[in-house]
């Protein structure tokens, strides 16, 4: 495990990725490989009913094509996690991707949202949010703002959901 030296006033984020910006450019092949590996290995994910789709949409009059990841992850604790991410894919042979819009929304079917990470508020795409909701009433109980490099990646959100709502074994 990588450890970070903190200065006075800093808060340790135990879920933080060792990369300075885990959302920076990555090869398409590695990006998809990491997603699939993390999903296959995560103890919270029900493999048989979870599905992520990867979609490339050519954009002929721009520098980049559009790349989207969307789908539903069914969790062993009863939660569903809706994933929607959008990014750019360059047209070089490396076919690198860099995501810029994120939405991870967790809820119990038939119930309310319990957790959402996003940056999809129109006009505020550079503001990254963590919304936590009361699972009984659906009311937002906390809102945290963060920088892009602090925004968790998908498996870290799954880790958090497992801590908040442990699966019954």
Express each pLDDT in 29-56 by its tens digit: 999 999 899 999 999 999 888 999 999 9
As a whole number, mean pLDDT of residues 45-73 equals 92
Q: Is the pLDDT of residue 105 over 60?
A: yes
pLDDT by residue (tens digit) across 116-141? Answer: 999 987 777 788 999 999 999 999 99
Q: Percent of the chain beyond pLDDT 70?
A: 88
Phi then psi dihedrals of residue 138, to 5 deg = 80, 0
Mean pLDDT value across residues 14-28: 69
**DSSP codes, 5-53:** ---TT----TT--SSS-TTS-EEHHHHHHHHHHHHHH-TTB-GGG-EEE
Contacts of 59-67 spanning 24+ positions with Cβ under 8 A:
63/88, 63/90, 63/91, 64/88, 64/89, 64/90, 64/91, 65/89, 65/91, 67/28, 67/97, 67/99
Residue 91: predicted pLDDT: 87
Give kind and range of the element (H or E) at residue 134: none
Q: What is the pLDDT of residues 136-150, one digit of tens each?
A: 999 999 999 999 889
């Amino acid at each position: 495990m990588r450890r970070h030296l903190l200065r006075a006033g800093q808060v340790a984020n135990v879920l933080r990725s060792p990369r300075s910006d885990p959302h920076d450019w990555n090869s398409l092949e590695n990006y998809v490989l990491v997603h699939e590996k993390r999903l296959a290995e995560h103890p919270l994910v029900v493999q048989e009913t979870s599905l992520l789709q990867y979609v490339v949409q050519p954009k002929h009059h721009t520098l980049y094509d559009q790349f989207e990841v969307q789908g539903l992850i069914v969790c062993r604790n009863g939660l569903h996690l809706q994933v929607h991410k959008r990014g750019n894919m360059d047209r070089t042979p490396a076919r690198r991707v860099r995501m810029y819009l994120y939405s991870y929304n967790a809820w119990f079917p038939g119930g309310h949202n319990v957790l959402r990470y996003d940056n999809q508020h129109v006009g505020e795409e550079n503001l990254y949010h963590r919304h936590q909701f009361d699972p009984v009433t659906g009311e937002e109980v906390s809102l945290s703002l963060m920088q892009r490099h602090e925004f968790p990646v998908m498996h870290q959100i799954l880790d958090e959901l497992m801590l908040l709502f442990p699966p019954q074994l």
